[in-house]
Chain A
């Protein structure tokens, strides 16, 4: 019984630590650098999105059927886009775009991509997200005077 109690406490401690380490990256956008010649590594257009991105900034939310935090992130992105006419939100089901999911190395949903006016991938993140994190990612793409 003492042995098992040790296992129990150890398991709960290790899984809590693992969760804490993993969640620190949630919702934090990572910049995607262009290659030395200045061409973006990934560009998304009408073939994937249906119609080409036509806003200065486009969030692409990648969801799946068993995504428990997607509704929360969908709400956050919609509220941030509603504040700013330069921002648009698109949504892709991972199941329908497995090629893209594999090409971009998407391992979990929600994954959020941020595209510029040309459809070039500028930054990305995954997991639960706060509105401040979405707004912070936009400052890379939009001049601050446009956004009140």
Chain B
């Protein structure tokens, strides 16, 4: 199986996409496709309201985000689907992407859906649809417009952390 990591980047400009010292790039369409699958899963979760089925689906979403947080967006189930079924049908990527931003976004998704799931299990039923809805917004914006909402949080968190210190 050929991986995004091994494909050459056609680059005519002298400016490379990556700064020195960054990890090997990934196909940027992978995380975006994955966000589309996540968005569908979270939309169905939201539609199921506060039912048991919704809680099960939310737990599945937590598991998927945990994989992405641990291994990066290319290590998720969605990433595997993209490499096996989607990428072979696409032209090689024009540019590669740093894997750290999408991985950070997966961690944000994990915290969001994870706290929702914990609250549901503690009896706060409404936390399920709320967490699914918030994560859905982030996944939808990524899939539809390429905006990484979780990534935007990083600098704000860094700024806040040093202010508090």
B13 touches A78 (CB 8 A): yes
Complex CA distance for A7 and B162, rounded to whole angstroms? 37
B14 sits at the interface (CB 8 A): yes
A8 sits at the interface (CB 8 A): yes
Instruction: Tell me the minimal C-beta distance from B46 to chain A in angstroms.
Output: 5
Partner of A101, one of B49, B101, B159: B159
Contact with B along A78-119 (1 / 0, CB 8 A): 110010000000010011001001100011110000000000
A101 touches B46 (CB 8 A): no
B156 sits at the interface (CB 8 A): yes
Please choose the segment from B55-63, B78-86, B111-119, B142-150 that sits at the chain A interface, where 4 or more of its residues have CB less than 8 A away.
B142-150
- Number of A residues near B (Cβ < 8 Å) is 37
Instruction: Tell me the minimal C-beta distance from A52 to chain B in angstroms.
Output: 22
Contact with A along B141-165 (1 / 0, CB 8 A): 1001101101110111011001100
A75 sits at the interface (CB 8 A): yes
A71 touches B95 (CB 8 A): yes
A109 touches B155 (CB 8 A): yes
The 3 closest A-B pairs by CB, nearest first: A78-B15, A71-B17, A68-B101
Known: A67-B98, A82-B13, A98-B162. 15 other contacts (CB 8 A): A3-B49, A7-B129, A12-B136, A23-B147, A65-B101, A67-B154, A68-B98, A68-B102, A71-B95, A71-B97, A78-B14, A78-B15, A79-B13, A108-B156, A109-B155
